[in-house]
Amino acid sequence: MSTQVENRFSEFIVDRVGFGIFAVTRDMQLVLWNRFMQQHSGKKAEEIIGKNLFDCFPELPRKWLQKKFEGVFLLKNFSFISWEQRPYLFQFKHDRPVTGGVDWMQQNCTFMPMINAANEVEMVCVTIADVTDISIIQRQLQSALVALGESANRDGLTGIYNRRHLEERLAQEFSRCKRYGGGFSLLMFDLDHFKRVNDQYGHLGGDAVLRAAAARVTNVIRTADIFGRYGGEEFALILPETDLAAATIVGEKVRKAIGETPIEFDGQKLTATTSVGITTMRSDLPAYEALIHEADTALYRAKGLGRNCVVVAGSDIEPLKIS
Catalytic residue ranges: 233
Q: Does 39 bind another protein (CB under 8 A)?
A: no
- Residues 302/277, Cβ–Cβ less than 8 Å: yes
Q: Which of 13, 17, 74, 204 binds another protein (CB under 8 A)?
A: 74
Quick one: 51 exposed, middle or buried, by C-beta within 10 A (0-12, 13-18, 19+)?
middle
User: Least distance from C-beta 108 to another protein, angstroms?
Assistant: 7
User: Least distance from C-beta 24 to another protein, angstroms?
Assistant: 16
Residue with Cβ nearer another protein (108 or 280): 108
User: Least distance from C-beta 129 to another protein, angstroms?
Assistant: 11
Q: Which of 7, 39, 77, 140 binds another protein (CB under 8 A)?
A: 77
| Measured distance CA(192)–CA(234) in Å, rounded | 10
User: In sequence order, what are the beta bridge partners of 20?
Assistant: 128
Q: Does 19 bind another protein (CB under 8 A)?
A: no
Close Cβ partners of 265 (under 8 Å, ≥ 6 residues apart):
201, 204, 205, 208, 209
Q: Does 171 bind another protein (CB under 8 A)?
A: no
User: Least distance from C-beta 119 to another protein, angstroms?
Assistant: 8
Residue with Cβ nearer another protein (74 or 147): 74
Q: Does 142 bind another protein (CB under 8 A)?
A: no
Interaction residues for another protein, span 109-128 (CB under 8 A): 110, 115, 119
Q: How many residues does this entry show for the chain? A: 323
Quick one: 310 exposed, middle or buried, by C-beta within 10 A (0-12, 13-18, 19+)?
buried
Q: Does 26 bind another protein (CB under 8 A)?
A: no
Residue 198, φ and ψ in degrees, nearest 5: -60, -40
Q: Single out the residue of 11, 54, 61 nearest to residue 30, CA to CA.
A: 54
Per CB under 8 A, the segment of 62-70, 166-174, 191-199, 309-317 that binds another protein is: 62-70
Q: Which of 25, 34, 79, 162 binds another protein (CB under 8 A)?
A: 79
Q: Does 157 bind another protein (CB under 8 A)?
A: no
Q: Single out the residue of 266, 268, 242, 264 nearest to residue 254, CA to CA.
A: 242
Q: Which of 108, 127, 135, 248 binds another protein (CB under 8 A)?
A: 108
User: Least distance from C-beta 52 to another protein, angstroms?
Assistant: 17
| Measured distance CA(257)–CA(218) in Å, rounded | 10
Q: Does 273 bind another protein (CB under 8 A)?
A: no
- Residues 310/190, Cβ–Cβ less than 8 Å: no
- Residues 136/142, Cβ–Cβ less than 8 Å: no
The contact set with another protein (CB under 8 A) reads 61, 63-68, 70-71, 74-82, 84-86, 108, 110, 115, 119
